[in-house]
Chains A and B, each alone.
Chain A
Amino acid sequence: NAGVTQTPKFQVLKTGQSMTLQCAQDMNHNSMYWYRQDPGMGLRLIYYSASEGTTDKGEVPNGYNVSRLNKREFSLRLESAAPSQTSVYFCASSGQGGSEQYFGPGTRLTVT
């Protein structure tokens, strides 16, 4: 039982490049989330998926897209990376909104 896994762990992009962050959970959770964490800012919600087949914007969705591929997987795509997207990205899952969330180990992204 791996919980929530994320790939890659580290990534360096040049401005304008694109990439997809992958997230998978093996807890049969309905809800999945993508957050970014910047120094002194806590966690900010980018997008979430309350259930398979649905996605909704969070607090800071601009510059990102998501896909809930199936119940297990929720990916985050940066179409044209910008230095302002340098951050640590966390994926999380929960049985339902408002319940305990389980977090992945994070992806450290640097955009130069």
Chain B
Amino acid sequence: SQQGEEDPQALSIQEGENATMNCSYKTSINNLQWYRQNSGRGLVHLILIRSNEREKHSGRLRVTLDTSKKSSSLLITASRAADTASYFCATDEGNTPLVFGKGTRLSVIA
């Protein structure tokens, strides 16, 4: 299994600060995705980055991918209390099911 590993496991920041979460994986991938899960809810897709891409933006989200280091980072800028959630990375090897990491729990304090 090439399960992604998120780091840190938990992160607590003040509203307005930036939050950075990291994901490392073990083998070659086709795509890497990030998902958010609010407490008691299903996961919601945030962003997909392909193995030949190095950076992608979506609103306040910035994702980077370094395939040489087998790692990705998710940056949330100017965080809000509503960003409080768990964040998961997920990888695939090409038309295969996603494999999810264990997640980072982000708390944004107002």
A92-B43, A98-B30 known; 10 new pairs, CB 8 Å cut-off, are: A35-B100, A42-B3, A45-B97, A96-B95, A97-B92, A97-B96, A98-B31, A98-B97, A101-B35, A105-B41
A33 to B40 CA separation, bound complex (whole angstroms): 19
Chain A 69-101 interface mask (CB, 8 Å, partner B; 1/0)? 000000000000000000000101000111111
For B, the interface residue count at a CB cutoff of 8 angstroms equals 27
**Residues B42 and A97 in contact, CB atoms below 8 Å apart:** no
Question: For chain B residues 71-110, which have a beta carbon within 8 Å of chain A?
Answer: 88, 90, 92-103
A40 to B100 CA separation, bound complex (whole angstroms): 12
Given A43-B88, A48-B97, A59-B1: A101 touches B45 (CB 8 Å cut-off): yes
Point out the residues of chain A lying under 8 angstroms from B45, CB to CB. Answer: 100-102
A75 to B94 CA separation, bound complex (whole angstroms): 25
A102 to B103 CA separation, bound complex (whole angstroms): 18
* B33 close to A (CB within 8 Å): yes
**Residues B102 and A40 in contact, CB atoms below 8 Å apart:** yes
Name the residue on B nearest A97 (C-beta): B95
A94 to B110 CA separation, bound complex (whole angstroms): 35
Name the residue on A nearest B42 (C-beta): A103
Q: Shortest beta-carbon distance, B103 to chain A, in Å?
A: 6
Given A100-B48, A103-B42, A106-B42: A45 touches B30 (CB 8 Å cut-off): no
Given A98-B30, A98-B31, A100-B33: A43 touches B43 (CB 8 Å cut-off): yes
Q: Shortest beta-carbon distance, B30 to chain A, in Å?
A: 6
Q: Shortest beta-carbon distance, A18 to chain B, in Å?
A: 25
Q: Can you report 28 residue pairs joining A to B where beta carbons are below 8 Å apart?
A: A40-B102, A42-B88, A42-B100, A42-B101, A42-B103, A44-B100, A45-B97, A45-B98, A45-B99, A48-B97, A58-B97, A90-B42, A92-B42, A92-B43, A97-B95, A98-B30, A98-B31, A98-B93, A99-B31, A100-B45, A100-B48, A101-B35, A102-B45, A103-B42, A104-B42, A105-B41, A106-B40, A106-B41
